[in-house]
Structure 1
Amino acid sequence: MLASGLPFEIITYISGFLSTKDRISCTFICKAWRTPMQESLWCKVHVGNAKKLNDICDISIYRQNIYRQHGQRVRTLSLKPYLRVTSEQLNIIQQNFQNIRHLHLPEKSLDIIHYKSVADWSCWKSLVHLEVSTLGFGFADEAKEFLQMLSCLPSLRHLSYMKEFRRRKTLYGLDDFETLHTHLPQLEHLSITMDLDVFSDQDLMLIANVVPASNIKVIKFFIDNMDLRWLCYFARKYINVHTLEWNNYARPTRTEIFREEAVSMFASLPCTFQHLRSINMSGTSETEWTHITFWELLSQLNVPIKHITYGLLGNHMEELSEKIISKCMISCAKTLETFSISSNIGFSDPCTIPMAFDVCLCLVDLNIYVYSSPIALDILLDHCVVLKRLRLAANNLSISRRALEYPAMHGIRLIEFIRTKTNADVFSYISFRCRNLNYMRLDDMKISGPFSRDTGNLCLDMPFTHFDILQLNNVQFFGSEDSVCNADTSIHFMALVQLESILQSSTILEPSIQLSDSDHLMSTADSLWFYMDFYQEGSEEGFQLRVLNKDEIKIVREYFMSFQENNKVLESKNGYRKFDKDAWKLDLYQGHATLRCEYVEILIYIAKFSSTEARLQSSLVCKSWRIPFQDSLWDTVDISCQHRLEYVCNLSGNENSIFEDNG
């Protein structure tokens, strides 16, 4: 089939991958391409400045105005925040772009707009997606006028309605919700920021007879001080919802007043929220009892929740915060598959959070971001028996004293540790227990432990681990028995060692295969060595990394073979200093770190920090590193001169061009 014979829809789809310049060119290449390319060019319009707004609204060149000529092609329209479009300008925009289906109106993109102004919202009756902030609308009666505006948009399927909490409070009642759904019968996604009124006696009578909005699949609430009886209304109204997001950041006075009544009303509900699968909740320390009540209500319905994302901010009481997590886990223990929590909770016991997952038998994906709390990794693995992916950021990561007492093997495959302080022994434990682990990322980590007095080696021993991908970003090592992490204990040298031959000949089933110090240094002969320097310039700290060449590796190994004797020669240094690669030998006295593992397929480490020269050297040091380092070398090509351009284009006629082979 000729390119000119492709269907209109396919050409339009292809155009989405082209630049604006290329699409303009395509309109002149082939007649069959002209219309779909023009449709693609005009599909989206963003009014990002006053000049473009004036060009659109310029009625002095009414017939020659390109926005009027091509406005019917526009499907997506967005305005810049604080653009302050007037009612008259909005009316012209509505007249020019009557076929839009997606509209984004951020805060104060519109000036004082009243429903009864010259703007004609019925021009956008084909609109299916609306994101609007009423900040700047100037509604006299916000609820009434906003609902009148929505009455002109019967095709709407996605509504995101935002407003500023600090404004004068406008309370929305049950009648307003019913009116909203009457105006928008096709609505599938509802995201609202509003204040809800307290139920009247008449409202409570109407709840039992509400007509479900069966098309709604996603609801997101940003609500202050909600009467919890509203949850009973939502349970009856949104029977097919599969995703619920609730953000609550106000003092819950109404929650405390109507809590018992809400629990009683929920007990009388039929099976509801049976399609609910994902929950995203967040709140402050002042809303803890709201969260506890919510999970108590949900547990009565046996809802099969599979995915939860949680955010808790503020000065939480440790006991209440623990209760929130516990109630959450109990309410969906049999079905929960993924759980994410982000909080500034300051738990003192490293077992508190891990113990909360005791009842979750289906949890396979766990994300914990608690920067102020310690975590006991062995307890976490004991309680999350089917876990496959763990991403963790904590104040401290440790293993308990009983961790090495014949732990059960674990099937976890992915681990990411972020902004966490831990001990080198943790990695030996992970390697012994998690034999299926094939991806590990360490980001902004501090790893400490005692190093050998004979060789200066701090060993991260992972002999049972075969990595497909290992990623180390800004990882610092510290030689300290007391986990002290400062400039005096900082280690600046690291070696990556592969142990295939050792494992093949070993039948020992212990958490670590122990090598003597001399054997260890022999094993680093063909390994990759790095020099890491952490420096400070004024108030700014930095990280420099480079790969040692063969001559430097020889010097390093010889030094560490006689570490005790050589250490007496070098003088100690205090604090950080500006990076100087010629002074790297002065850091030898602080020892070196070694990461030993069975095998690493891809190492994502050097490309981000090293020079081209260092990456070339790395590809020659070890066969297993060759492919990843060569890939990083060819990741970016800069054609900065005529000579390189000719070389890339192979104008000299060479049979073998490296750009043809590696392009």
Structure 2
Amino acid sequence: MASKLPSSILGNIANNLITRDKLQASIVCKSWRTPFQDSLWKEITLTSNSQIAEICDRSNPRHKIYQKNGHLVRRLYSGWYISIKDVQLYILQRSFQNLTHLHIQGDTLTRNDFGREADWGLWKGLEEFEISAPRLGSNNDIEYLFSILSFFPGLKKFTMTESYCHNSEGYSWRHMEIIHELLPKLEELHIDIPLTEISAEDIKLFKTIVLPTRITKLTVAAQNIRFEWIYYFSIKYRNIHTLTWNNSIEKESATYETRSEARALVSEVKTIFPNLKHAYFEGNGSRADSEHLSIRQTLAHAGVFFKSLYYNVRWDFDKPELVEKFFIDCLYYFTSTIENFTLISTNSFRDVCKVPMTIIRCPVLTNLNLILPESFVAFDHLLDQCTSLKNLKLSLREIFISPGASLTPPEHGLKSLFFIEARTTPRLFTYISLRCRRLTSMRLDGLKVIGRIDKDTGTLRLDMSHTKLEFLLLSCIRFYSLPSPPPSSLSHLSQSQSQSQSPPSLSSPAAAVAAAASLSSLSLLSLLALSPLSPQNSKDDETNSEEDAVMINLLAIEQTGHIHSIDFDSKMCIPTSQSAISLLQDNFQVWFHYYLGNTPTGLSGMMQRLDPKQSKYAQTYFRSFQHKNDSGLEPSHITRGDYEWGPKNMWKNDLNRGCAKWYFDSVDRYRVKGFEENIEHDSYTLSTMDTVDY
């Protein structure tokens, strides 16, 4: 049946496959060979001068191969640090005449050899063009650039960058007008070029000679840009729905217009960016923050309210007052409309009082991404403040549940969560299971789960028995067992728990959080800064310190409901057959073991699934487990890696360290992987069932 599929359908399938899969598909049968082999030529990336020689040198054995298949190439990319000579450029144009996408990066085309004799008309079918233009030293340079663009009247996306140079004349608004005249069908524009100043006389001309374009996406990464350009953009690109503003320049000598001057200019436009809904801001230092703030305020005063905001910023560590002001103003104007918010920064926020952000004022926020590797978050308060949240991604230092969290929290509608490179405790997952009953997808990558094993069972219990997932990903998860607390600590813990029902003192951290939770102005980034309430500083019996912990190398996933299908990177057989599922007992366990294995880069952590006999042995061991004070010790002759992994065939030596048991109601599909396994493209369909006796 597969051999009877039309070649057009096979071609569409091939376009969505990676190179390895295309190669495999091309040898399935004769009818598959041509469409899948042809798809291998859709895109070519030039990475070296020797590769260019292969294409352009007729004496090279591979030259004929490129000539034969060149008509299949649709996308051509040139990498950095290569040089294309004029004659080579002409041969490339003749060899790949059906291009639709062309990306020329870096100084591939130099000022001294800028394709003066190349035939750009051979690429007249281009729809997307990226070029690093030569530095403008004379009118001849820009005139030649315009002559190139004149061959691409059907271009839809244009990206132009130029190396910044003090001697460069820069591009004026009149140059931009010529570009748009040459490219009437342009829909997306990216410019990373020096822009000249706009005079007061020129501003008066804008209303009469500047006409709007059909562009819907605009990216500006210009140096020392003035707000006269914002005025120009507001007239020229009034149809955009997505704006990206990138400023990574940190020179203090730049001149900025005051906000009032900027607003006065923009206010002359009757309707500024009426379709603008998505904004992306990137930059370094206080200067970029000041510029972004002015732009946001100017747009807000002009009646522009975003649905999506994306920030990737890095602040000056010696200017904390600017960081504080950034948070205060970040969402102030858009709280009633913002639906998607992303914040990425490597800065650390530790002072509760200095980083307010009023997430509580965003009633329609549904997608939240916080990439703040040095920060903390109280997960329960985050859900309290983001009541409409559906999708959550957190990459933080710690994710924890505050000591004063309710044991019967109100249900939350969160559907998908993704935790990356954070430390936490089993308590977090119990809370998620209790509160987020609609959760269907959970992805955990690089997480460290730290707690105390049960002295009677030898297990670190992660209870999500209320959770029914459609998909679960456990990638590079580490489990740690803490030593038992001294009796005095247990007595103090018991006393603090018995007093938890009475009104807490405001002098305690728990009371501070409880009081703050009752205030409508409690902010999300205040929660991120709650390091005093992170587990290592709270009165919880679990901490997030690995210094005294022992790594647990055994993981058991137990499902009280049903398993439908499982992917496992080591190609082990796990039940997927729907007919076999009905034969499963109420409880089903799958056991995994982390071990020290050989990888292309040396010894590192890998993972194996225990077979039925090994799984039965592990279950029997933990049924009769008796806690010992030396349970974290093992024979001294075992060679372990930096992360306490042992050899693959000596997995039994890890039993005395305990195991992590993860309980779910049901999971339709999940994947578990170790530390050196690639899951970007592999997805195994498994159908053989392993039976386990209980």
The verdict on a shared fold, with TM-score over 0.5 as the criterion, is yes
> What's the counterpart of residue 531 of structure 1?
593
Q: Using the TM superposition, name which of 465-474 and 567-576 deviates more.
A: 567-576
Give 1:256's aligned amino acid: Y
**3-state SS of paired residue (1:279):** strand
Give 1:290's aligned amino acid: E
Q: Pick one of 422, 427, 432 that aligns with 1:425.
A: 427
Cα deviations by residue, 1:2-49 (Å, 9 ceiling, x for unpaired): x9998x9779768868969999999x999xx99x99998987666666
> What's the counterpart of residue 621 of structure 2?
556
Which ranges of structure 2 fall in alignment gaps of 5 or more residues?
Answer: 483-541, 563-584, 678-685
> What's the counterpart of residue 293 of structure 1?
294
Partner Cα distance (2:121, 2:322) in 1: 50
After TM superposition, the structure 1 = structure 2 runs for residues 13-52 of structure 1, keeping only pairs within 5 Å, are none
> What's the counterpart of residue 476 of structure 2?
474
**Does 2:686 correspond to 1:619?**
no
Distance 1:531 1:183, change over 3 A: closer
> What's the counterpart of residue 271 of structure 1?
271
Q: TM-score scaled by structure 1?
A: 0.75
- Which is richer in helix? 1
Cα pair 1:299 1:330 within 8 Å, conserved:
no
Partner Cα distance (1:234, 1:115) in 2: 30
> What's the counterpart of residue 282 of structure 1?
282
Deviation at 1:156, TM superposition (A): 2.4
Distance 1:66 1:325, change over 3 A: same
> What's the counterpart of residue 660 of structure 1?
none
**3-state SS of paired residue (2:361):** coil
Cα deviations by residue, 1:468-523 (Å, 9 ceiling, x for unpaired): 2222112112233332214743233333333469xxxxxxxxxxxxxxxxxxxxx9
Partner Cα distance (2:41, 2:651) in 1: 58
Q: Pick one of 366, 373, 376 that aligns with 1:374.
A: 376
Cα pair 1:143 1:170 within 8 Å, conserved:
no
Give 2:179's aligned amino acid: L
Distance 1:54 1:450, change over 3 A: closer
Partner Cα distance (1:424, 1:254) in 2: 51
Q: Pick one of 472, 476, 492 that aligns with 2:553.
A: 492
Deviation at 1:262, TM superposition (A): 1.1
**3-state SS of paired residue (2:666):** strand
Partner Cα distance (1:564, 1:68) in 2: 73
**3-state SS of paired residue (2:146):** helix
Identity of paired residues, percent? 29
> What's the counterpart of residue 524 of structure 2?
none
Deviation at 1:115, TM superposition (A): 6.5
Distance 1:536 1:578, change over 3 A: farther
> What's the counterpart of residue 188 of structure 1?
187
Deviation at 1:250, TM superposition (A): 0.8
> What's the counterpart of residue 664 of structure 2?
597
Partner Cα distance (1:414, 1:118) in 2: 55
Give 2:470's aligned amino acid: D
Cα deviations by residue, 1:315-351 (Å, 9 ceiling, x for unpaired): 3545533543443423332332222222112111579
**Does 2:186 correspond to 1:200?**
no
Partner Cα distance (1:138, 1:107) in 2: 18
Partner Cα distance (2:27, 2:591) in 1: 52
Q: Pick one of 585, 605, 608 that aligns with 1:542.
A: 605
After TM superposition, the structure 1 = structure 2 runs for residues 188-337 of structure 1, keeping only pairs within 5 Å, are 188-251=187-250, 253-254=253-254, 256-286=256-286, 287-316=288-317, 317-337=319-339
> What's the counterpart of residue 390 of structure 1?
392
Cα pair 1:355 1:379 within 8 Å, conserved:
no
**3-state SS of paired residue (2:329):** helix
Cα deviations by residue, 1:218-265 (Å, 9 ceiling, x for unpaired): 111222222133222111110111221121101365453444411332
Q: Using the TM superposition, name which of 207-216 and 267-276 deviates more.
A: 207-216
**3-state SS of paired residue (1:263):** helix
**3-state SS of paired residue (2:470):** strand
> What's the counterpart of residue 117 of structure 1?
116
Distance 1:107 1:339, change over 3 A: same
Cα pair 2:136 2:142 within 8 Å, conserved:
no
Deviation at 1:71, TM superposition (A): 7.2
Deviation at 1:618, TM superposition (A): 8.1
Deviation at 1:163, TM superposition (A): 2.4
> What's the counterpart of residue 129 of structure 1?
128
> What's the counterpart of residue 582 of structure 2?
none
Cα pair 2:86 2:114 within 8 Å, conserved:
no
Cα pair 1:171 1:195 within 8 Å, conserved:
yes
> What's the counterpart of residue 629 of structure 1?
none
Cα pair 2:127 2:155 within 8 Å, conserved:
yes
**3-state SS of paired residue (1:362):** coil
Partner Cα distance (1:308, 1:400) in 2: 28
Distance 1:39 1:210, change over 3 A: farther
Cα pair 2:133 2:161 within 8 Å, conserved:
yes
RMSD, aligned α-carbons: 4.6
Partner Cα distance (1:536, 1:240) in 2: 55
Deviation at 1:288, TM superposition (A): 1.3
Q: TM-score scaled by structure 2?
A: 0.72
**Does 2:405 correspond to 1:403?**
yes
Distance 1:558 1:127, change over 3 A: closer
Deviation at 1:395, TM superposition (A): 0.8
**3-state SS of paired residue (1:620):** coil
Distance 1:459 1:210, change over 3 A: farther
Partner Cα distance (1:581, 1:22) in 2: 34
Deviation at 1:432, TM superposition (A): 1.2
Which ranges of structure 1 fall in alignment gaps of 5 or more residues?
Answer: 502-522, 624-663
Cα deviations by residue, 1:153-201 (Å, 9 ceiling, x for unpaired): 3332221112233675442222222222122222111111111222222
Partner Cα distance (2:27, 2:662) in 1: 54
Distance 1:618 1:66, change over 3 A: closer
**3-state SS of paired residue (1:379):** helix
Give 2:361's aligned amino acid: V
> What's the counterpart of residue 645 of structure 1?
none
Deviation at 1:77, TM superposition (A): 4.4
Distance 1:190 1:493, change over 3 A: same
Cα pair 1:526 1:622 within 8 Å, conserved:
no
Give 1:223's aligned amino acid: A
Q: Using the TM superposition, name which of 366-375 and 12-21 deviates more.
A: 12-21
> What's the counterpart of residue 160 of structure 1?
159
Deviation at 1:369, TM superposition (A): 0.9
Distance 1:609 1:151, change over 3 A: closer
Partner Cα distance (1:427, 1:303) in 2: 40
Partner Cα distance (1:617, 1:414) in 2: 29
Partner Cα distance (1:134, 1:260) in 2: 35
Distance 1:409 1:152, change over 3 A: same
